[in-house]
Amino acid sequence: MPTVKVRNLKNEEIREVELSDAVFGAPLNEGLIHAAVRNFMANARQGTSATKTRGDVSGAGRKLWKQKGTGRARIASLRSPLWKGGGNVHGPQPRDWSYNMPKKMRQGALRSALSERVREGKVVLIDGWTLDKPKTKDFIASLQKLGLEGKTLIVDSLDNDNLMLSTRNVQSAKVVNSFSLNIYDLLYHERLVISEAALKEIEQLLGPKKENGAGDEPIEEASVETAAAEPVKPKRARKPAVKSPKAAPKRKKEAA
């Protein structure tokens, strides 16, 4: 079971916490991570690029000159793609690039990426990121005390207004909550900072779910033994149904 030391904003070690082996001890699955990144980037595409076809460009629809006798090539319309200013052929049109990915695959990719960050030693666990006032200078000073350089992803509650306001002008840092944690941010940022409150939420979201519901109760052994001890009554054989004799068909009266 992986362990991480909990620190405060002064970079002092407070205690040591054991992480969930199901969430932070998963093996590396590069294929699953690659599929999750492609799904995330495809869903983020706007799909608003468009070109004008011959039906969209401006221009008259009449025939410019007669079909034969001029010596020039025949032409049907000024808006033809063969002419300058004409329509585009097979150009991009607005479309939806997003597609669904199974939830278990997305969660598996997150578990694999989180586990790899822990094995690399790039995960910092803090007791809480509390700032007295929303000031970018104080936030950068706390990053330097923790020894965090480069692109940093902070997972904490979005209700922490001082932290959210202090990080708006820092391009190398991003703050998200445990519910909006995605595979792209995990791979893009080099360091990962998680608060203890967000750590519990991540383990609940990505941890194993209980298969049996609240109403499912295991069968007791005693009840099984008592059921096996009771003699099984033989089933009575069914009597064959007696078919009623068919009535004889009525004879037609002979003609006199």
Condensed to tens digits (0 to 9), the pLDDT of residues 123-142 reads 999 988 888 888 999 999 99
Residue whose tokens read 């990426």: 113
Work out the pLDDT band at 227, boundaries 50, 70, 90: very low
Alpha-carbon dihedral 153, 154, 160, 161, rounded to 10 degrees: -30
Q: Is the residue at 51 inside a domain? A: no
Q: Is the residue at 72 inside a domain? A: no
What is the residue range of 149's domain? 3-46+103-206
Q: Is the residue at 31 inside a domain? A: yes
Number of structural domains found in the chain = 1
User: Tens digit of pLDDT for each residue in 9-28?
Assistant: 888 888 888 888 899 989 99
On the question of pLDDT at 197 being above 60, the answer is yes
Q: Is the residue at 168 inside a domain? A: yes
Q: Is the residue at 216 inside a domain? A: no
Among residues 49, 50, 52, the alpha carbon closest in space to that of 88 is found at 52
Q: Is the residue at 217 inside a domain? A: no
Q: Is the residue at 188 inside a domain? A: yes
Q: Is the residue at 127 inside a domain? A: yes
Work out the pLDDT band at 216, boundaries 50, 70, 90: very low
CATH number at residue 193: 3.40.1370.10
Task: Tell me the C-alpha distance between 167 and 172, whole Å.
Answer: 9
What is the reported pTM? 0.71
Are 191 and 117 a contacting pair, CB within 8 Å?
no
